[in-house]
Structure 1
Amino acid sequence: MKILSCTSPGEFDYLEEDNPMLTEGRAIVKIKKVGVCGTDLHAFEGTQPFFSYPRILGHELAGEVVEIGESKDISKGDWITVIPYFSCGICVACRNGKPNCCQKISVFGVHEDGGMREYVSLPVSSLVKRKGLSLEQLAVAEPFAIGAHGVRRAGVKPGQFVLVIGAGPIGLGVMEFARIAGAQVIAMDINEKRLEFCRDVWNIPHVVKAGKSAYDMIQEITNGDFCDAVIDATGSLAAINQGFQYIAHGGAYVLVGLQKGEIAFSHPEFHKREATLMSSRNATREDFDQVLDAMASGQLSVENYITHKVKFDQVKDDFQSWLNPETGVIKALVEV
């Protein structure tokens, strides 16, 4: 069985490994499609927190169940996607229905070896199927679930202004679910091509280039109210720190993006707004179900989201280029 391992920052190697064996409570899945996300790219360049090497990447997965024990919902031959966050089930977060931020969480492809290989053994409880969806749709369910979770954390309501900072794959997912929630979405990025994509392809009504004029533009768009929710999807320390100024009085700031440094903001400005600051980590089964429902109903399309497709043997050569936004990559998809 061929696997692709990130051996150290900036280095990949193809390895051989025996096929996994079926054990109780698990299934053997033949991986068909793997999405490449910011976590993978940051791991490759050595800037991803919670990461160690060597590591097999891959947590945005679609595959076919080839072996499975007793299960009410999943059968051999089913096409599935994977909830790649493995929780302990007993810690305070798990007891309170938040397995996405389990104290002992192990994320497939981050804390343990992931799915950039032909076959994997996975807990049956982590598998999700939805009839009628393609392998491509299933492969990108996870990044959209991240977006859905961030919007749910923000408590977005119809008619509210929601500023999404960062127009990468996660940011686009946030925008889509803010739109589905009925919000007026504002996209912000430093990259002109991504803003063009938001406006011309993603049909975002308001796009703002980050910089000196951004504050005035957002003030004008919102008629001076600013944003009921600001959601960062960049992981950039500068962007996160600047985002505080765009929060409306009574508004919320949700950090989906993750970075290693310490954030800083004016306490008086934050306090007078009675603003809420929160993080949004991973996603839950509820978020996955919302994504798959939206795909099945036609509310959510992935046609323009997947911009690059490569065969498994091409990944090693093409991966580094996806770090460059100028290539126009939104979502790269690997066919195993």
Structure 2
Amino acid sequence: MKQLRCSKPGAFEYQQVDTPGLKEGFALIKVLQVGICGTDLHAFDGTQPYFSYPRVLGHEIAGEVVKIADQSEIKEGDLIAVIPYFNCKACIACRRGKSNCCEKISVFGVHENGGMQEYIQVPVSSIVKKEGLNLDQLALSEPLAIGLHAVKRSKIQHGDWVLVVGAGPIGMGIMEFARVRGAKVIMMDVNESRLQACKERFGAEFLVNALEEPSEKIAELTRGDFCTTVFDATGNLKAINGSLNYVSHGGEYILVGLQKENFSFKHPDFHKRETTLMSSRNATREDFHEVMETLLEGRIQAEKFITHRIRFDQVGTDFDSLIDPQNQVIKAMIDF
């Protein structure tokens, strides 16, 4: 089978490898579609934490079950998504139902080889399906589950002002699930085309360019209250450090994006708000099921996120085009 490997930052190479066998407790999956996410882009440009080379990228996966030893809920021929966070099931986090932040977590396409290959072998416990979903919806279940998990970490109430910093696919997913909960969502970014995409594709009402006096504009929108929940979906250090200024008194600040360096706040500014600070990592099986139900009901439309498609045999040579800001990529899908 053909496999695409990121051999070092900025370099891909195709190679022929053996198709995986079938281990007990695992299933063999024919990969049909893989979404390209920020993790893949950061790995390609050498800025992804917890990463080593060479590595097969890709963890937003839709595929077909080819072989499975014990057919029960999951059967051969099923179209499925993969929960790509493989956990130990024994550590304190797993025992408390927080498998998304397992002490020994291994993320597909990050800590071990991922989905940019024709066949993969994954634990049956990491497979999730929902009858009636198409490949786009299945592949988008993972990034949308990250957005949903972040929203579920919050205490958003109907009518709250919420700020999402970073208008990429994760930020857009956070926006959509916050709006499902009745929040008034402000989208902020330095990229005007991303903000306009939020408006044109999703009907976002409140847009703020971070380069144009954002504090004044947010204060005006919220009548001086600022935002009871602020999400960072950038992973940008300057954005992380600066966005505390937009949190209301008594509010919460949730870090979804990942940054290698230390971040810092002025303690009096943090303390006077009695700010709740938390992170949101990955997602749980329950999040995946809720996302899939939301997609099936049409409350969120997968097609609004996808702007580009690329064939698997083109990724090695054309991946650079997906990074080029002029191409205005929001979410690109690899078709096999």
Q: TM-score normalised to the size of structure 1? A: 0.99
RMSD of aligned alpha carbons: 0.8
| Structure 1 match to 2:288 | 288
How many angstroms apart in 2 are the aligned matches of 1:236 and 1:325?
Answer: 17
Structure 2 residue identity aligned to 1:48: Q
Q: Tell me the equivalent position of 2:122.
A: 122
Q: Which residue of 2 aligns with 1:326?
A: 326
Q: How does 1:99-138 map to 2 (within 5 A)?
A: 99-138=99-138
Supply the AA of the counterpart residue of 1:8: K
**How many Å separate the matches in 2 of 1:303 and 1:86?**
28
Q: For 1:121 and 1:148, how far apart are their aligned partners in 2?
A: 27
Name the counterpart of 1:49. Answer: 49
Matched residue type, 2:283 = A
| Amino acid of the structure 1 residue aligned with 2:95 | R
**Which residue of structure 1 lines up, in the alignment, with residue 92 of structure 2?**
92
Structure 1 stretches of 5 or more lacking a match? none
Could you give the per-residue CA deviations for residues 48-76 of structure 1, whole angstroms, max 9, x where no partner exists? 00000000001000000010011421000
Partner of 2:240: 240
Distance in 2 (CA, whole Å) between partners of 1:66 and 1:93 is: 32
Alignment of 1:200-279 (within 5 A): 200-279=200-279
2:59 corresponds to 1:59: yes
Tell me the residue number matched to 1:147: 147
- Describe the SS at the equivalent of 2:274: coil
Quote the residue 1:35 is aligned against: 35
**Whole-Å separation in 2 of the counterparts to 1:157 and 1:149:** 16
The alignment partner of 1:151 has SS state of helix
Match of 1:301 in 2: 301
CA deviations over 1:236-269 (Å, ceiling 9, x no partner): 0001111000001111100000011111111111
Cα deviation, 1:201-239, whole Å, max 9, x if unaligned, reads 211110000025100000011111100100000010001
Worse overlay, 291-300 or 199-208: 199-208
Identical amino acids, percent of aligned pairs: 57
One-letter amino acid of the structure 2 residue matched with residue 264 of structure 1 = S
1:95-124 alpha-carbon deviations (Å, 9 max, x no partner): 111010000000000000001001111100
1:270 Cα deviation from its structure 2 partner: 0.9
SS of equivalent to 1:158: coil
Q: For the residues of structure 1 that align with 2:117 and 2:168, how far apart are their CA atoms?
A: 25
Read off the aligned partner of 1:138 and give its amino acid letter.
L
Further displaced range: 197-206 or 292-301: 197-206
The Cα of 1:325 is off from its aligned counterpart by: 2.8
SS in 1 for 2:58: coil
Work out the CA distance in 1 between the residues paired with 2:139 and 2:12: 22
5+ long unaligned stretches in structure 2: none
Structure 2 counterpart of 1:329, one-letter code: V
**Partner of 1:187 in structure 2?**
187
What corresponds to 1:20 in structure 2? Answer: 20
Aligned length: 336
- Per-residue CA deviation, residues 131-189 of structure 1 (Å, 9 max, x unaligned), is 01101110111000010011111222211111000001111111111111111000000
In structure 2, distance between residues paired with 1:44 and 1:122: 24
SS of the residue corresponding to residue 304 of structure 2 reads coil
CA distance in 1, matches of 2:174, 2:126: 23
For 2:186 and 2:305, how far apart are their aligned partners in 1?
18
Distance 1:328 1:292 in 2: 27
Output one character per residue of 1:6-46: Cα deviation in whole Å (capped at 9) or x when no partner.
00000000011111111111100000000000000000000
Question: How far apart in 1 are the matches of 2:158 and 2:322?
Answer: 35
